[in-house]
Amino acid sequence: MQVTNEEILRGLAEIVNEVAGVETSEITPEKSFVDELDIDSLSMVEIAVQVEDRFGVKVPDDVLANLKTVGDAVDYVAKTT
Amino acid sequence: MMTEVVITGLGATTPLGGDVASTWDALRAGKSGVVALTEDWVERFDLPVRIAAKLAVDPADALPRVQARRWDRCEQVAVIAAREAWRHAGAPEVEPERLAVVIGTGIGGALTLLGQDDLLENAGMRKVSPLTIPMLMPNGPAAHVGLDLGARGGVHAPVAACASGAEALAIAWRMLRAGEVDVVVAGGAEACIIPITLAGFAQMRAMSTRNDEPERASRPFDIARDGFVLGEGAGVMVLERAEFAAARGATRHGRLAGVGTSSDGHHITAPEPEGIGAGRAISTALRTAGLAKSDIGHVNAHATATPVGDVAEAAAIRTAVGDQAVVTAPKGALGHLLGAAGAVEGLACVLAVRDGVVPPTLNLENLDPGVQLDVVTGSAREVELHAAVNDSFGFGGHNVALVFTSA
């Protein structure tokens, strides 16, 4: 079943909110996880594991390191599912 | 003349209350923090101990959700107590390089260690939290308090079993006396009411099994005592060099006038039965405070309600302080907060001197004849106090005595 980018964004926002406490309304595609949403590398690992569970994708460490923005993550999930 | 060390802030979260005021009120009123455990694991493991002194206020409810999930329970209580102490001190303006933190713990992040091990076993490597190590490391409570306050003058985490909290205060005193820093936030934190600690202590035959009467289970100095009751919580003080506190016009709640530490060199867990090491710690504390035995009006005893420990401590108090001091044993009400005990009970000692009130020892109905001391029972006793001693001892033979005097 194909998920839309909007659904991925919504799911990702819920995960980021759960892990890092960032308001879901703040979590928009252009935002940088580290610089703008103030998410540290430990929380990024937690987010990656939850993304794997929710969307049934693999997020290897070398991929995770290149997911700089929320949009990067949405695009990766969209093309991998 | 060496600098004096003054106490300008107090913070706590305990089985008696979520802050200092509620804890102190309950302690004076003779209330108990010991309850029956209702968790399913009590039955599952058929634990011989089914009582504990649980926190009156769940720390996770007192913190933002994200902080609560990133911090082990013992880190949560440390930060909650430290924030209260810092506010109480009027949030001192101090250069970060002149501010240090010393928070001890006996066990550290055991809940995290076991919880994450369960995840590893049952769900696999990827489910283990990347926060596992910072949540289980025993310096975690100190490190989080240091981060919270922006301390850059050193963060230390003494580990001395049930003397950890007192040892933290002793180290703070030494740092301030040496002029290393101007302000130290110091205390202890513990939160490990879980099956493995209850089972481990129970296998040592160190715990009370008076499961049918939780409130009557912790009986320091009583002839029918049968061991300690495990508790959880944190106590933190803001300590300052007297000159620094005076310059900023801080309110003083008392002084940490002297400290003494010693080691029994006797057995890994059993106290030296005559209390010789404990007495040496008390004598050293009096000497560093420049006080005589007769100056001490009050002793806040470690007395965990184990058969051997209480009598050994009573002997130490008689030898090192004398029989004029009014004694209380707060573990009757609080249970045993392990690495937080010395800090929370030290705090009670400061308040006893400040308010001229010694809380009662709960459940002391028949004084052990081996305890020849004036122990307060029944209700709190009003008595003018200028100087008091707080004892703490830990497995490993650690002895710490602190002398608190009026402001």
**Which among A41, A46, A52 has CB closest to B129?**
A46
Q: Which residues of B are catalytic?
A: 162, 302, 336
Q: What is the CATH number of domain B258-405?
A: 3.40.47.10
Residue B267 has pLDDT above 90, yes or no: yes
Q: How does DSSP assign B96-151, residue by residue?
A: GGGEEEEEE-SS-SHHHHHHHHHHHHHH-GGGS-TTHHHHHSTTHHHHHHHHHHT-
ipTM above 0.90, yes or no: no
Within B254-354, strands assigned E span 254-263, 298-300, 326-328
Which two tokens mark B217? 């289970």
Q: What burial letters (b/e) apply to B143-166, b meaning 16+ CB within 10 Å?
A: bbbbebbebebbbbbbbbbbbbbb
- pLDDT tens, residue by residue, B165-200: 999 999 999 999 999 999 999 999 999 999 999 999
Question: Which token pair is B198?
Answer: 């209850």
| Residues B147-157: tens digit of each pLDDT | 999 999 999 99
Question: What is the dihedral sign for C-alpha B75, B78, B81, B87?
Answer: negative
Q: Which residues of A touch B127 (CB under 8 A)?
A: 49
Q: Is the pLDDT of residue B2 over 80?
A: no
Phi, psi of A74 (to 5 degrees): -60, -45
State whether A19 and B130 contact (CB < 8 Å).
Answer: no
> Is A68 a residue whose pLDDT tops 80?
yes
Contact B64 A21 (CB under 8 A): yes
Contact status of B125 with chain A (Cβ, < 8 Å): no
pLDDT (tens digit per residue) in B311-368: 999 999 999 999 999 999 999 999 999 999 999 999 999 999 999 999 999 999 999 9
- Condensed to tens digits (0 to 9), the pLDDT of residues B44-89 reads 999 999 999 999 999 999 999 999 999 999 999 999 999 999 999 9
Residue A2 has pLDDT above 80, yes or no: no
Place of tokens 């839309």: A4
Q: What is the pLDDT of residue A27?
A: 96
For chain B, give the percent of residues with pLDDT over 90.
99
| Predicted pLDDT of residue A41 | 92
Is B5-247 CATH 3.60.9.10?
no
Q: Which one of A19, A21, A49 has the shortest CB-CB distance to B126? A: A49
For residue A44, which phi and psi values (nearest 5 degrees)?
A: -60, -35
Quick: pLDDT tens for B292-323: 999 999 999 999 999 999 999 999 999 999 99
Residue A1 has pLDDT above 80, yes or no: no
Residue B84 identity (one-letter amino acid): E
Q: Comparing B5-247 with B258-405, is the CATH topology the same?
A: yes
Is A46 close to B66, i.e. CB distance below 8 A?
no
Query: Domain A5-80 belongs to what topology?
Result: 1.10.1200
In Å, the largest CA–CA distance within chain B is 62
What was the pLDDT predicted at B1?
Answer: 58
Q: Give ∠ CA B86-B91-B93 in degrees, rounded to 5.
A: 130
